[in-house]
Amino acid sequence: MAKITNVVKRTGAVVPFRKERIANAIYRAAVAVGGRDRSVADRLADQVVEALEEQAAPGYTPTVEEIQDVVEKVLIENGHARTAKAYILYRDERARHRRERALRSAQSFENIPWRKIWEVLDWAVAHDLHTVGRLNARIARGEFPQIVRETDRAYAEDITTAAEMVQERRDVVRIVIIAGPSSSGKTTTTVKLSHLLKKAGLNLIPLTVDHYFFDLELHPRDEFGDYDFETPQALDLALINEHLVRLVAGEEVRIPFYDFKAGKRYDDHTPMHIGPNDLILIDSLHGLFPPMTEGVADEQKFKLYIEPLLQMKGEDGKYVRWTDLRLMRRMLRDAAYRAYDPQRTLEHWHYVRSSELRNIIPHIGETDYIVNSGLPYELPIMRARLFDDFTKWAEQYRDDPLHEDAFTRAVRVQRLLQGVTPVEDDSIIPPDSLLREFIGGSCYEY
């Protein structure tokens, strides 16, 4: 029986073979269909390794695809048909996304309606902020304060429109969902929307879905020990849905409490009910994920999606990627509020992006309104704070096949920021700015 020591990735890179990666992939598929027994995943991974080694000639190095074929076979032979289906679907999705990336010659607008994109681009052109070069020119003319004011005014108008739409449906809406990918600005948007609705006599009562996380020991993790909190299956979706149905019906529920330090959830902890002028607020990455609210009628839900839809081209003629903006935001927020090193944020980002593509972006078309949280003035601030780090990471990961994703992102962001005029002094940015959610100094409590 030949012992397998390496594996060939799709890029052709040869990396060490680790059984833990197989076990983690099986466990992720099991979690997607409700299974949470890690020991079963470990046992099945042992069978996969045994099967691979039985058919391998001495010195043979299998490809990722060959290993995945064996995983599917072992799952089916052991009676785990639902897990096998989830694994196959995920594998097919990843293949489709790779094909789409290969064919893409310009930025994909990721299900955002073209009308919204056109509005944002039209605004950028009208304010001479549609390229990094034009942004730099305005900064050189001393217009950075005007850029901040113009941008914040447009963002405020978006939130005002959303508030007016909720008020128009106040007789039927019982839940307001504010969804969007990581670091899109959901928290600040929620605060501002709450203030506007309160003036109209409506109260947003938050249902904090983070308290519905499963215990930490039940979360998938990778071979580096990094837990994946980004998937909606990390939450007890059935319990959230049950509580929402009961709350809308006028019942009182006792929501759980999640101790993040201990990684434990305590059920039946905090009583909650809503009054006639109260709207349940769900501020969550996965607020649009159907199983979370499937028991509540669609007309009783107002769905708002937020994304930094910046329409600005870099020096290379390509549009700035929204995911890169959010990555930089999260780095600063994690470092400021969570004592989380920015490099760890970079290495974890592939989980964030993978979950977005699977569980958030496909549901954008179901929203009632989209808020643009893109801030042209954040690039000069990010340039001053993160450029040196991205330059370092681009070099550090250059020959590291285990961190290809981190290398690709680091190089891309470093090249983008290199062309931006830095702004060191952020004092002109007001305390109620969305950017303050990430750089600190906000007048809001988060």
Q: Do both 57 and 184 map to the same domain?
A: no
Rounded-to-integer distance, Cα 226 and Cα 14, Å: 22
Rounded-to-integer distance, Cα 41 and Cα 23, Å: 5
Question: Would 93 be classed as within a structural domain?
Answer: yes
Q: Do both 274 and 144 map to the same domain?
A: yes
Q: Do both 175 and 75 map to the same domain?
A: no
Q: Do both 353 and 269 map to the same domain?
A: yes
Of 102, 130, 160, the residue at which a domain comes to its end is: 102
Question: Would 131 be classed as within a structural domain?
Answer: yes
Placement of tokens 């081209």 in the chain: 313
Of 49, 75, 102, the residue at which a domain comes to its end is: 102
Rounded-to-integer distance, Cα 157 and Cα 61, Å: 57
Question: Would 47 be classed as within a structural domain?
Answer: yes
Q: Do both 137 and 49 map to the same domain?
A: no
Give the range of the structural domain holding residue 258, as residue numbers without chain letter.
114-439
Q: Can you tell me whether residue 67 is helix, strand or coil?
A: helix
- Residue 172, C-beta contacts closer than 8 angstroms, at least 6 positions apart: 299, 300
Q: Do both 173 and 210 map to the same domain?
A: yes
Q: Do both 92 and 146 map to the same domain?
A: no
Which tokens sit at 270? 């905090």
Q: What is the pLDDT along the chain (446 residues), one digit of tens a residue?
A: 558 888 877 666 677 888 888 887 788 778 777 788 888 888 888 888 888 888 777 777 888 788 888 888 888 888 887 887 777 776 666 666 555 544 443 344 557 888 899 999 999 999 999 999 999 999 999 999 999 999 999 999 999 999 999 999 999 999 999 999 999 999 999 999 999 999 999 999 999 999 999 888 776 665 556 666 668 888 999 999 999 999 999 999 999 999 988 889 999 999 999 999 999 999 998 999 999 999 999 999 999 999 999 999 999 999 999 999 999 999 999 888 877 899 999 998 988 888 888 888 888 988 999 999 999 999 999 999 999 999 999 999 998 888 999 999 999 999 999 999 999 999 999 999 999 999 999 999 87
Of 43, 67, 102, the residue at which a domain comes to its end is: 102
- Residue 358, C-beta contacts closer than 8 angstroms, at least 6 positions apart: 90, 93
The pLDDT score that the predictor gives to residue 227 is: 62
Q: Do both 314 and 185 map to the same domain?
A: yes
Using CB atoms within 10 Å of the CB of residue 285, give its burial: 0 to 12 exposed, 13 to 18 middle, 19+ buried.
Answer: buried
The pLDDT score that the predictor gives to residue 77 is: 83
Question: Would 445 be classed as within a structural domain?
Answer: no
CATH no. for residue 342?
A: 3.40.50.300
Q: What end-to-end distance do the CA atoms of the chain give, in Å?
A: 57
Rounded-to-integer distance, Cα 112 and Cα 206, Å: 26
The pLDDT score that the predictor gives to residue 357 is: 85
Placement of tokens 């004592």 in the chain: 339
Which tokens sit at 230? 């980004």
Question: Would 1 be classed as within a structural domain?
Answer: no
Please count the structural domains in the chain. Answer: 2
Residue count of the chain, please give it.
Answer: 446
Rounded-to-integer distance, Cα 188 and Cα 436, Å: 9
The pLDDT score that the predictor gives to residue 105 is: 36
Q: Do both 68 and 130 map to the same domain?
A: no
Contact, 220 vs 20, CB < 8 A?
Answer: no
pTM, to two decimals: 0.77
Q: Do both 45 and 157 map to the same domain?
A: no
